[in-house]
Homo-oligomer: A and B are copies of this chain.
């Protein structure tokens, strides 16, 4: 069932530019589902700014193992 209050995609656009993880307060990975056909990655900075990251951005994508940038979490 879609999460309460989230009946649509939350990211009208995404950025691929890297945000230094030490500036991040929170990172949300939301799987695609009935509410949105694409997975979404939403970063909240320590200044409270919310940015939608492209799931394909190399520094976000964990599967190729090379990018260790998320290790700061």
Q: Tell me the A residues contacting B by CB distance below 8 Å.
A: 1, 3, 21, 24-31, 33, 39, 41, 44, 46-48, 55, 61-63, 65-66, 68, 70-73
A21 to B30, CA, bound (A): 11
User: How many copies of this chain sit in the oligomeric assembly?
Assistant: 2
Known: A33-B46, A62-B71. A27 touches B28 (CB 8 A): yes
Q: A63 touches which one: B41, B63, B68 (CB < 8 A)?
A: B68
A72 to B59, CA, bound (A): 16
**A31 partner residues in chain B, CB cutoff 8 A:** 21, 24-26, 46, 72-73
Question: Which residue on chain B has the smallest CB distance to residue A68?
Answer: B63
**A73 partner residues in chain B, CB cutoff 8 A:** 29, 31, 39, 41, 55, 62
